[in-house]
Amino acid sequence: SENEREICFRYECRYRESPF
Amino acid sequence: MLQELRVGEEVVWFDPETCFWGLGERDKLEALHSCVEDELSREMHALRSSVEVVMLYVNPTDRCNASCPYCYLPAGVKSRGRSMSTGELRRVVEEALDFFGARGVAGSVVFHGSEPLLSRESIFSVIDEYRRELHFGIQTNGLLLTEEDAEFIRSRGVRIGISLDSPDEETNDALRGRGHFRRVSEALSWLSGYEGLSVVTTITRHNQGQLAEMVRFLHSRGVPVCLMNPVRLTQRGSLSLMPEPAEMAASFIRAVDTAIELTGQGRRIVVADFANLLLGITAPSARVLMCDISPCGAGRRFLSVAADGECYPCGEFIGMGEFSGGNIFRRSLPEVIDSRGFARVRARRVEQIEGCSTCPVRNVCGAPCPAELHSSGGSMHRRSHYCEFYLRVIEHAFRVVLRGDLWHVLRRSALREKFSL
């Protein structure tokens, strides 16, 4: 199950507005 | 075509141009990449090519009440002792306001230094006059900060960055001056828990091993954000203080993991420089700090106004006449931004730098800093003095995602998913 792990994504700014 | 990147025991597939990446079956990732590549290319082009100044750093005075050995301002600038009058400062802020207003931008003005609190009366007066129209920030060494100042800053929503280099008084004061640690510790007690507070730590060979301890110290004092910046080698005085990149990276990574651990326990603390690199591989156009984008933000997203009114692409260039865009009291901001000196900095791209042009993570680190490279002998079109540091820390950014800690660093509420597998 570990070997078949899949991760792939992308985010953008949703718009207090800062991501950190 | 995706490139193979090793992250510890794992292999991820990465596109250096768009910063698309994934863990899993290569064919499946290539198929998804081909679906989104055009859109991501447009996103990266907008991020990297547009010129839209949204922030002015303003030095209200050349003077400083400290003498940090690694200061990036030339001694000749600080010793001339020029300060803007309140009227001149108001003119600068009105120039900024007109410029931002014409472009529909809610811009920012950050009072920077030397030491801006030596002009306390002027900057507080201007903040009170324009705070409904502009975001304001102050970057200070903290020595002059009073409890009354802290109340002013909180009540006006002004962002404040305070310099502190070590949780150990002796180490800090050897760098920042006797008494600095105690003064800043007191200032932090007045500003504890204030969401606009950050602490800036300059990493040198003297404090490079203390970064995790520093995160614990700041967390215990209610600091929500810390910046840990490798010392810029712009001035000769900083060369002997340069940290060892691999050792600094190991210490920085321990600090990041300490911040993640503490955040997981409840109250948030973020190492901003790391969070920005993490955005570079998860939401590149949402980055907040501009040093790790190529071209960087100098003369493109912000500019710096020295106390004599001369404008530079970034504070790191102050005193380097060939990069001056002219004087804000005699030239308009659009003319300053269009100047040859500013254009030179905007023309620096990782694709043209030997060693960076073939590096897979060139668009995550951005190869900072052009001012530092230019002033330390030779061309700015060279790779970063801290290349090894960035490679190790960026690998850790992948590791943080793979182990599921992304939202212990970034705020999910500020981001929107574009796609996922």
Report pLDDT digits (tens) over B58-83. Answer: 999 988 888 888 887 888 887 778 79
Contacts of B30 in chain A (CB under 8 A): none
Chain B contact probe: residue of A1, A5, A8 with most B CBs at under 10 A: A8
Contacts of B22 in chain A (CB under 8 A): 6-8
Of the partner residues A6, A8, A13, the one whose CB lies closest to the CB of residue B415? A13
Predicted pLDDT of residue B133: 87
Three-state DSSP class for residue B17: coil
Number of CB pairs, chain A paired with chain B, less than 8 A apart? 88
Among B157, B229, B238, B240, CA closest to B191: B157
Which residue's structure tokens are 């590149």?
A: B284
Is the pLDDT at B109 greater than 90? The verdict is: yes
Question: CB distance from A18 to chain B under 8 Å?
Answer: yes
- Give B265: exposed, middle or buried? Use CB within 10 Å, 0-12, 13-18, 19+: exposed
Give the pair of three-digit tokens for residue B104.
């529909």
- Is A18 close to B411, i.e. CB distance below 8 A? yes
Predicted pLDDT of residue A1: 52
Contacts of A8 in chain B (CB under 8 A): 20-24, 29, 32, 420-421
- Is B418 close to A12, i.e. CB distance below 8 A? yes
Provide the mean pLDDT of chain B.
93
**Rounded distance, CA B214 to CA B200, Å?**
11
Q: How many residues does chain A have?
A: 20
Q: What are B367-377's pLDDT values in tens digits?
A: 999 999 998 87
Is the pLDDT at B228 greater than 70? The verdict is: yes
> Do the beta carbons of residue B229 and residue B273 sit within 8 Å?
yes
* Averaged pLDDT for residues B105-123: 92
Task: Give, in order, the Cα–Cα distances in Å from B115 to each of A5, B119, B166, B173, B317.
Answer: 51, 8, 20, 17, 17
What is the helix (H) or strand (E) element at residue B29, kind and residue range? Answer: helix B26-49
Of the partner residues B20, B21, B417, the one whose CB lies closest to the CB of residue A11? B417
Predicted pLDDT of residue B80: 76
- Give B198: exposed, middle or buried? Use CB within 10 Å, 0-12, 13-18, 19+: buried
Is the pLDDT at B177 greater than 70? The verdict is: yes
Predicted pLDDT of residue B201: 96
User: What whole-number percentage of chain B has pLDDT above 70?
Assistant: 100
Predicted pLDDT of residue A3: 54
What is the helix (H) or strand (E) element at residue A10, kind and residue range? Answer: strand A9-13
Interface residue ranges in chain B relative to chain A, Cβ cutoff 8 Å: 20-25, 28-29, 32, 36, 40, 43, 225, 270, 272, 275-276, 279, 282-283, 285-286, 288, 401-402, 409-411, 413-421
CA distance B13 to chain A (A): 10
Three-state DSSP class for residue B394: helix
B55, amino acid identity: M
* Averaged pLDDT for residues B212-235: 92
Is the pLDDT at B96 greater than 90? The verdict is: yes
For chain A, how are helix, strand and coil distributed in percent, rounded to 5?
0, 30, 70
CA distance A8 to chain B (A): 4
Predicted pLDDT of residue B137: 96
**Rounded distance, CA B353 to CA B159, Å?**
35
CA distance A15 to chain B (A): 7
- Is A6 close to B421, i.e. CB distance below 8 A? yes
User: What whole-number percentage of chain B has pLDDT above 90?
Assistant: 74
Chain centroid, CA B160 distance in Å: 14
Is the pLDDT at B192 greater than 80? The verdict is: yes
Q: What are B263-283's pLDDT values in tens digits?
A: 999 988 999 999 999 999 999
Higher pLDDT: B342 or B232? It is: B342
Question: CB distance from A2 to chain B under 8 Å?
Answer: no
Contacts of A13 in chain B (CB under 8 A): 283, 285-286, 414-416
Q: What are B309-347's pLDDT values in tens digits?
A: 999 999 999 999 999 999 999 889 999 999 989 999 999
Is the pLDDT at B144 greater than 90? The verdict is: yes
* Averaged pLDDT for residues B153-158: 94
User: Which residues contact residue B336 at a Cβ distance below 8 angstroms, ignoring those fewer than 6 apart?
Assistant: B303, B311, B325, B326, B328, B342
* Beta bridge pairs of residue B173: none
Is the pLDDT at A16 greater than 70? The verdict is: no
Question: CB distance from A1 to chain B under 8 Å?
Answer: no
Contacts of B36 in chain A (CB under 8 A): 10
**Rounded distance, CA B114 to CA B111, Å?**
10
Higher pLDDT: B33 or A4? It is: B33
Residue of A nearest to B19 (CA): A10
Predicted pLDDT of residue B412: 83
Task: Give, in order, the Cα–Cα distances in Å from B413 to each of A18, A20, B417.
Answer: 9, 10, 11
DSSP B111-167: E-SS-GGGGHHHHHHHHHHHTTTSEEEEEE-STT--HHHHHHHHHTT-EEEEE---S
